[in-house]
Amino acid sequence: MDATHLAARTPRLDPDDAARIARTLWGVTGEVRELPSERDRNFLLETEDGRRVLKVARRGEERGLIEAQNALLHRLTGAVVRYRFPRVVPSLAGRAIETVEAGGVRHLARLVAWVPGVPLAEVGDRPAALLGDLGRLLGTVDRVLAGLEPPALDRDFYWDPAGGAALVTTHLDALPEARRAAVARRIEAVRRVVEPRGARLRRGVIHGDGNDWNVLVEPGAPAGPRVTGLLDFGDAVRSWYAAEPAIAAAYAMMGADDPVAVAALVVAGYQAEHPLTRPELEAVWPLIGLRLAMSVTIAAIQRSQRPDDAYLTVSEEEAWSLLERLEGVDPDHATERIMGAAGPGSVPALLERRRARIGPSLSVSYDRPLHIVRGWMQHLYDADGEEYLDCVNNVAHVGHAHPGVSDALSRQAALLNTNTRYLHENLLRLAEDLAGRLPDPLEVCYFVNSG
């Protein structure tokens, strides 16, 4: 699909038209207001039975494409419990798709249930766990959709990352001359890193637009803000899996103090659900740059067609700012950080696994959690061999891995390791020994499992 002919195909209807369509075909009534959209027209209906969204496709949209999007939603809503997705509401005639007329032109329309949540774009505080959950959401989507490949999604689409370098190159003159060089360098990186690996980059159906307006969050969740849902499958396409976390990372990085760290967290979350191969991980960083280059290029094209539509350029300036910041980032170092974070023993991956299986009452210390693998004497050692002086844990009173303590534990574990509900000489000897070392009036011991 050519990005230069969108304006003429946008449905021409207003909220009154939307109300009439919803009432006539779905039997739904209520207050109506329009929602922002790039290509189609979307209307929110406030009904007595909850919120609904009427989606009217642009002129000439193929029925097979909308049927494919509905098939994706059906698969996800039936298979995924952790996250929410739009649910298609059948019409009074029992159809998932209806044909409507607007301005003398016929369009395809459907109704979906509203998905509750706050857009990630409106969430200022984005802790590491939330960014990891963003990647995990998209990894879950791609894993669940694997094998479901409607022919309509194997399409020529201007947002398809696989054709992004060609699109940007063709329309480079649409960009401000002073800024073209930064975009051209992102395309050079794709030619140098991604294209030689093309045959090793797996393809499948991806959501293709994990921007922060399509991702929903529950900010007040007990364990901290968490991702709850995903909207807008209009950009779904059969393309590179590696592009899915790259697209989401590109938007999540905007305005971040450490953009590379954000990218690493998103990729690590994706990796926990839908692991990428080494060549795919090596392609992620240039694919992030490609998405930014595509974003500013397509925004420039669309602004010339619809200059009054602010939604089409909602992320444009932030994308330019990030592109300029990436000029100072060593791409090899960025890729190393991403690949390190995506490993099975990486801190982000461990945090994701911990959050999934261990209750939040057991907290993790430090803003940058430590992955500790060894203790010896007064020191702890992390997975990278970094040495830390242990001034916190009581075990350091005698040293980590003290041979005498280790041997005593080993001997006792081989003989008996049970509960204090039973009578046992060792428990009494320990209590008597401790009490004998305490001043009066301390004379009774209460044993706990941790200090």
Question: Which of these, 47, 45, 24, 36, lies nearest to 100 by C-alpha position?
Answer: 24
Q: Are strands 50-56 and 118-119 parallel, antiparallel or unpaired?
A: unpaired
Q: Give the DSSP H/E element, type plus range, for residue 108.
A: strand 105-113
pTM for this entry: 0.77
Homologous superfamily of domain range 118-356: Aminoglycoside phosphotransferase (APH), C-terminal lobe (3.90.1200.10)
Domain ranges of the chain: 3-113, 118-356, 370-451
Question: At 202, which amino acid appears?
Answer: R
Question: At 363, which amino acid appears?
Answer: S
In Å, the largest CA–CA distance within the chain is 96
pLDDT of 21: 96
| Residues β-bridged to residue 359 | none
10-14, 23-27, 72-76, 109-113: the lowest-pLDDT one: 10-14
Q: Tell me the per-residue pLDDT of 243-253, one tens digit each, with 9 for 90 and over.
A: 999 999 999 99
With contact defined as beta carbons under 8 Å apart, do 118 and 217 qualify?
yes
pLDDT of 111: 98
Q: Are strands 203-206 and 215-218 parallel, antiparallel or unpaired?
A: unpaired
Confidence of residue 437 (pLDDT cuts 50, 70, 90): very high
Confidence of residue 7 (pLDDT cuts 50, 70, 90): low
User: Domain 3-113 adopts which CATH fold?
Assistant: Phosphorylase Kinase; domain 1 (3.30.200)
Tokens representing 210 are: 């994990």
Q: Tell me the per-residue pLDDT of 205-234, one tens digit each, with 9 for 90 and over.
A: 999 999 999 999 999 888 889 999 999 999
Half-sphere exposure of 321 (CA within 13 A, CB side): 11
The answer on pLDDT for 344 being more than 70 is: no
Most confident option among 87-96, 267-276, 381-390: 87-96
As a whole number of angstroms, the distance between CA 52 and CA 220 comes to 24
As a whole number of angstroms, the distance between CA 373 and CA 167 comes to 48
Mean pLDDT over each residue of the chain, to the nearest integer: 91
Cα angle at 192 between 188 and 196, to 5 degrees?
140
90-99, 183-192, 267-276, 345-354: the lowest-pLDDT one: 345-354
Most confident option among 25-29, 382-386, 389-393, 413-417: 25-29
As a whole number of angstroms, the distance between CA 224 and CA 127 comes to 8
pLDDT of 348: 67
With contact defined as beta carbons under 8 Å apart, do 202 and 190 qualify?
no
Q: Where are the alpha helices (DSSP H) in 328-402?
A: 331-342, 347-357
In the chain, what are the helix, strand and coil shares in percent, each to the nearest 5?
Answer: 50, 15, 35
Q: Are strands 237-240 and 203-206 parallel, antiparallel or unpaired?
A: antiparallel
